[in-house]
Every structure is written in C-alpha cells, then in structure tokens.
Chain A
C-alpha cells in the first residue's frame, strides 16, 4: 500500500512527487511512457513566464508569478539549466500598444516585478534583429528559459533518491475506489494508494472519470515549432507578439542549450496522442514569425516538432480534490503557464494532501540536492583536463555536434530514473539534439546503451520499447 500514487510523470507529477518526498510518505509515480517528461513536458516553448498574462482571478494568474520566483532555488538544488533572460511582448501599432498597457496593468495585479514599457528605439537597442515595424513592447525581466524535460528528470531522480518509486510504461486502465484507498489497475499490475494525484496531462479527464463524476474535458491544442541550429545571433530575450483578435502570435525564444525555438501555432485536435507536424501549420508559424524578425535564418532549421497543450474547457487550471472522491486530487488543465506555475502549485498540492491526511511528518534526512551533472562542453580548459585525468572516458567525444563525452552518457544511464533508450539519453545529455540529429552518434549511443544495460544492440529502443531501431543481424553476421 502506497500513501500517494501520482499518475503521470511529466513536470507536474514529478514536481509534486519531489515535494511530497520531503515527508514520510510511500510514494509511487506512474507513467505510460518509457521515460520521464516524454509528452507535453518534452514539447512546449520551454519558457518560465513572468506572469502578466493571466487574469488575477484565475489560478493561472495566482500561481504564475510566485512559481516563477521559485525557479532559481529549485534549479540550483537540482542542477537544471535555467536562465532568467527576460521577455518582450512586441506590438506593431497603437492598438497593440493599448493591449501592452493592459498586460502591464494586469501584471501589476499579479505582482509581476520590474516590468517596463519600452519605446520603438528602446526595443531595437535591446534587440537589433527585430523588424523596424515594432511600435512598443512590454519588457518583463523575470521571464526565463529552461529545459523542461531535464527539470522533470531531475525532479524524478531527486524524488527517488528521497525514497519515491517510479514505474514506466505502465498504463492505468481503471481505478477502483475502496474504503479509504484507491486501487489503480494497470497493464503491469495493480497498485493501492491512500491518495491519488492525477497529473495525466491530456488524459486527466479520462483518469478523473474513472473515480469521479465527469466535470471537465481536456481538448488539446496542438502547436508546431521549428528548432534552429546553434551559433546564430538572433535575439537575447524571449520575443512574444502582442495578442490580437487573430490569435496569440508566435514567439522566438532562445533555448538554454543555445538554439532557438520558433512557434507555436494553435489548433484543436481530437486525437490526444497526435503530435505529428503539419506542413500548413509550419508554414503559418514561419510567416507569422517574420512579422517579428525577417532575419530568422530558416536555412538553419535542424528540426521541427509539435506538442499538445492540455487545455481544459474551464479555461483555467483545475487543482482540487475531485467531487465525491476523498483523497483524489486533480491537477488538470495544465496548459501555459503550467510549467511556470508548477513550483507554487506543487506546494499548494502538498498543503491539500496535508489537510486531507490531517498532517504530514517531515523526513529528517530529506536531501534537496542531486549530484551535479557534468556538462563537459561548458567547462573551462583546466576543469576539462582534470576530468579526463580522473576518468579518461571524458576524453572520448561521442556526439560531435554537442560535444558529449562517453562518460556523460554512461552517467546518465546509471543515475536514478536513468536513460534506457536513445531518446532518453538525448533528453539528458544531448547526443542527437544537434545539427546532425544523431546521424553520426546514433550507432555509438546504441552501442553504449547495449553495453551498459547488458542487452543486445538490436534490443535498444529509440523511445518506447516498441520503437525498435534495428531489426536484427545482417546476413553475414547471422
């Protein structure tokens, strides 16, 4: 019997799992995917919003700015890449300027610090590659960029270090309400827990409906993005376009790894597992982005992708105990600014559990820090020398685009919540995330995974265990 079962190991589930692991609780995190943070967490704008956007009366408005403020500490504790680079909402005419003033006013209500409205000249001084058509902008210095999946992985690792358990490729098929507990039925067996926290992203409505009356619906909106290569001088802040009646506009955002993201569009999809990109959507993103800057080098695109937003029909986050299901907490509708809000939301969920449980006992030996991740490429020469001396595998570069060494790959496989697939290695230490997209390093990563996990190369998956890469030996090798 577990005290708490968390369904969904995206950034919401892992954040709550990690916060709950501060207390004397037996915790289980379940995900249907073969890795942490593999769905919405892995495909979004990777931005920690300042918090001026959502109305103060919404949970989105309540949690965003406080969540944002907590990011320095959590990323320091867990050694996750995070940069507070600030954001600009740029407008192109007097109407946009009024909207920007409205956002500023709303930001004040949400306690967003240090915002400023900039003139045309001030914007272009900060961002010389934006188009001259910029009229004015809202500058919010507290906005940041992050690697959301690395955050989720770090949270899961830290939660496990503090006693939580994780089951991957485990799909919840039903939940039975028992007397004072819930039995979670999965394709890998049944688990019983006193409290259940539903963090199942686009499937939170389905999970809710297994135990409670249906009262919200998730109808996801898909967004297509481009990823640009490194080494491009484009913008230094997150650049949003002023929302208009035509839509929210597309953004240009630097990433913590030195690339740029451009996107997203926004279209409802009925298939909740559909993350395919579409030519017309990518074309829309491209055209819309050129409004901000015609200097975007579209010949430097290294990848495009699409992700889903878990919008609820309520238009707000749903963070509450489900009606008629004591101890069953929904964390749903977690579209933007979900990522930005989650540190504050997780604290709130802990309070909910605390009040339902009638008090939680802190763990004396809780360790908020995880062992530092070596990012070889970012280190100064002297530290590189020292590392190779200590472990010669730091001298063996496997991924040439991102300069990832074999020692880093081996480490990410053997950590708690470690990598078990090529994509999981890519998410943790980045071989395959660069311009050659794994063309050169793919076979080497497969070889290292096979050796470290003690399996045949043909059994190393790209992602889920069904996503095989190799079909078997060639004729000569049989």
Chain B
C-alpha cells in the first residue's frame, strides 16, 4: 500500500486547480489520478475560445486554459498517473485503482478530493421514441470524434437541446461543412449562455425552435430522419405541429449529470437537487476528509468558476490534513426557496470562512428585474437586484462574513422575489 497526503481523483480543470492550491498550502505528497490519456479533462476537446475571462482576464481555448494549469502542476512536481481507473474508495480513504504500468494499486490517503466531472444525459435517459440506429450522438461524443479523433460524424444534422455543448457543436459542424438544420429545445428558453446562442446559431442562420422536441427517430441502420413537434406547457407534443427533417445525424445536448458513482461508494451523501455530494464551505463532503469540487458537485456554466471552487477544495483539504479545519462555532445550512433550484455549499461552518462566503446557485426559470433575497431563518440579510436571471447561467454570490457573523440562524435561505 502506498501513502499520500492527498489523492485527487480526476485531472480535469477541477482536479488540477485543487491539487495546485493544496501544494500552495504546503501539502507535500499529492497524487492526481486521471482515467484518460492526458490531463485537462473535457477542456482538451473544447477547441473554441471563451475560457478564462474571469481567472486570466483573457479569452483562451480549452486546451490553452488547461495547459496553463498542467504546466503549473508539472513545475510543482506534483505526481500524476494517466490511463488510471479508480475502482473503489473506502470509507477510510483507501483508494483501489488499476492501470497498465503499475497494475492493481491501493493507496492510503489522508485526504481525498473527488473531481470526476460529469457525463452527458443520453437518448436513452430521455426516451426519444423511434428506432435506435447509428447517427445519434451526445454533443460531447461528437465533439470528441471531430476535435480529438479527426473524424466527422454526419452531414445533415438536427440538434436536440440548447445546452452550451449543443450550441458550440452547431457551429463546429457547420464549419466542418455539415448542414445544421435546426436546434430544438423543449423548454421555452435556452439552457445555454446567451453569447453562445448569438455566436453559434444567429451568426450562422441556424434556427432555434423553443418549446419543441424530437418525437420520432427514423431509420433502421443509420438515422434517416427525425420528426419534431411543438410542446404544450406539460411538454406534451401538440398534434399538427410536426415538422419532418431528412437528416443523418441527431446530436443531443440535453443536460449533464455529475458523475458520482465513486462518491456514493465512498459513502458521501448526495443532494437530490444537484445530483452531486452535499458539501460544506470548504468543499468537504459528508465523509470526513473527502472533498469534492467542479462538475462532480454541480454542473457549472463557466470553467473559471470551477477553478475558483476547486481552489477552495484544495485549500480545505490542506487545512484538514494540517488539522486546521474547525468544527466548532457558528454553523448553518443553506436552503433554496422560491425560484432557486439549488445552492452550493449546503452547510457552512463560518469559522472556516476567511472574508466572504462564496455561494453558487441556479434559478428554475427565466426572470427579469427581480431580487435575490437572502435570509437567516426569517430575517433578511441581503437583497440583490437582478435584471436577468436564467437557468443556463449560474449565479455567484459573495456574502461578507461580517454581515452574518454572530447571528444565530439555522437556515440561510435564498429566493427569487419579483419587484412590486
């Protein structure tokens, strides 16, 4: 059995930032375990730009953004293993993993950071009726084929779901010579960033059908066509609104799901709102010494926020290893109310927060000119005016410690309030 102070599972943007921050906080023996052939995670296939505006004040491509962290990790001589799969994490932080070079390895860690990212929701999960031919891809898989393997996946394309990867792939497929016939979104608003709708659809005259969905896939071998239809308020197709498309490809961008199989194995509790582990202010899960960060906790809109959150996890793990995390003092839980779908973190031990408490949340609907109201039990702590809120864009709030210190409340709630 090998021994490490900290083992980071997943070498994408979350894992990289967490490992670097832990080293910056004097953690010596760190190991990053990555299942793919290289570090950087999904960023390596995101060759478009738009990454790093918050962290670096410049627009980078995915590989460039990852590259900066990989270079820093290497300059710090942080150990990493590629092509290595973690099979199990026990309650007492023993990690079982395999790879070709080392065979079957077991590692005892003082602290663990989970940063496995997320996966795409599939055609199976959303039960699109029809046949099951080839030519139905999740947008991310298509992106990998095109950007990493150098192969095109189709010529005439319909995209279901207006998540960011779907929008990015609408442009990418077009630039590669494919005809993107339509992007179809079941909700009355897009789940993607506004800038992506403008730059990836509008600029290429690709129609976006809101409140529409795919109701049939045709073709026994390769996709031969799809039928879309408008949906009512209950997301049921409205007869008579069908449009048929002759196409050979259906791309899906219908949501991302945090990949928490290992988290569950490790015995950490899952939040049904985020599908990720419950975490505290230091990004520690309900399991002592097991931390989590990035899309494994909740799906982020921008990688910059992943980096920020992961630094907090790296620092938290460092403090844990050094016995500096406090379990005493003022503690409270967070609770999403009206219009808010989730809040991360779910619990807070205020003594571990330095200046400001960082909160991430998403709203359930599109709102204009509203307030986000934060309360300690029933007492209003802060109100923030918002001109636009959308489910596709994550909200990031910082609550100064001074504004809540010394107040005794059980729940910090956040809700959307319409302006009178």
Contact = CB atoms under 8 A, between A and B. Distances in A.
A282 B127 contact: yes
B306 to A, nearest CB: 19
B98 A443 contact: no
Contact of B150 (A305, A438, A466, A476): A476
A470 B145 contact: yes
Contacts of A463: 134, 221
Contact of A439 (B83, B102, B141, B215): B141
Interface in B228-286: 237, 248, 261, 264
B28 to A, nearest CB: 28
A396 B134 contact: no
B119 A435 contact: yes
Contact of B177 (A276, A443, A475): A475
A440 B119 contact: yes
A473 B152 CA distance: 6
Given A435-B119, A436-B120, A471 B129 contact: no
Interface string A461-478: 111101111111111110
Interface in A404-450: 422, 435-440, 442-443, 447
A438 B101 CA distance: 25
A464 B221 contact: yes
A447 B141 CA distance: 14
A392, A447, A474: which has the most chain B beta carbons within 10 Å? Answer: A474
Contact of B152 (A396, A443, A474): A474
Nearest to B152: A471
A304 interface: yes
A23 to B, nearest CB: 37
Could you say which interface size class chain B belongs to?
A: 35 or more
B122 interface: yes
B144 A469 contact: no
B88 to A, nearest CB: 9
A400 B85 contact: yes
Interface residues of A, number: 56
A25 interface: no
Interface stretch (A57-65, A105-113, A205-213, A382-390): A382-390
Interface in A264-296: 273, 275-279, 282
Interface in A225-280: 226-227, 231, 273, 275-279
A473 B103 CA distance: 35
B83 A470 contact: no
Contact of B100 (A393, A458, A476): A393
Nearest to A300: B125
Contact of A304 (B120, B124, B152, B154): B124
Interface of B: 35, 83, 85, 87, 96, 98-104, 119-120, 122-125, 127, 129-135, 138, 140-141, 144-146, 148-155, 176-177, 215-218, 220-222, 237, 248, 261, 264
17 contacts: A226-B127, A275-B220, A276-B129, A276-B131, A277-B129, A303-B124, A304-B127, A384-B98, A385-B104, A389-B103, A403-B85, A439-B119, A439-B120, A466-B221, A468-B134, A472-B151, A474-B150
Closest 8 CB pairs of A and B: A462-B134, A303-B124, A477-B150, A397-B85, A392-B100, A437-B122, A467-B221, A470-B151
Given A436-B122, A471-B154, 13 more contacts: A227-B124, A275-B220, A276-B217, A302-B125, A304-B127, A403-B85, A443-B145, A461-B134, A462-B134, A467-B221, A470-B152, A470-B153, A471-B153
